[in-house]
């Protein structure tokens, strides 16, 4: 599966806002280029929870012109009652304007845990 690539304004802050349809434990990571692959960069959130009454909004590292980051959001999810659909949406904004939104869905049949991933490459422009 090809990664989505989006431009953000160089040297300007941008952020990700997460929303969940279900109960989620999640992490947010930035990866940096390593030749033709990616290597771990910065851990933005190691152990987030959709149930902690905190806003699920995180600032990401501003990029220089031409600099790239792969932003990955992973969530282990379940529904409140089991055997229901679950979803995660990662919305990326810059100066309050939406740059990109990625919605992932699954179904927690038999009360199983569903793992969802959102992966987007950002380039400073």
Q: What is the pLDDT along the chain (125 residues), one digit of tens a residue?
A: 578 999 999 999 999 999 999 999 999 999 999 999 999 999 999 999 998 767 899 999 999 999 999 999 999 999 988 889 999 999 999 999 999 999 999 999 887 899 999 999 999 99
CATH T-level topology, domain 4-124: Lipoxygenase-1 (2.60.60)
Q: Rounded to the nearest 5 degrees, what angle is found at the Cα of 121, between the Cα atoms of 98 and 66? A: 100
Contact 79, 108 (CB under 8 A): yes
Phi, psi of 111 (to 5 degrees): 60, 30
CA atoms of 8 and 11, how far apart (whole Å):
9
């Amino acid at each position: 599966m090809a990664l989505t690539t989006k431009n953000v304004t160089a040297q300007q802050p941008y952020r990700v806002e997460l929303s969940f349809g279900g109960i989620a434990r999640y992490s947010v990571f930035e990866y940096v280029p390593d030749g033709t692959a990616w290597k771990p960069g910065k851990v933005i959130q190691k152990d987030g929870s959709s149930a902690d009454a905190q806003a699920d909004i995180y600032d990401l590292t501003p990029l220089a012109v031409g600099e790239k980051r792969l932003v990955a959001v992973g969530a282990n999810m379940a529904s409140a009652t089991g055997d229901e659909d679950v979803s995660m949406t990662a919305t990326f904004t810059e100066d309050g304007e939406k740059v990109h939104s990625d919605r992932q869905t699954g179904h927690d049949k038999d009360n199983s845990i569903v793992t969802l991933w959102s992966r987007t490459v950002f380039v400073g422009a």
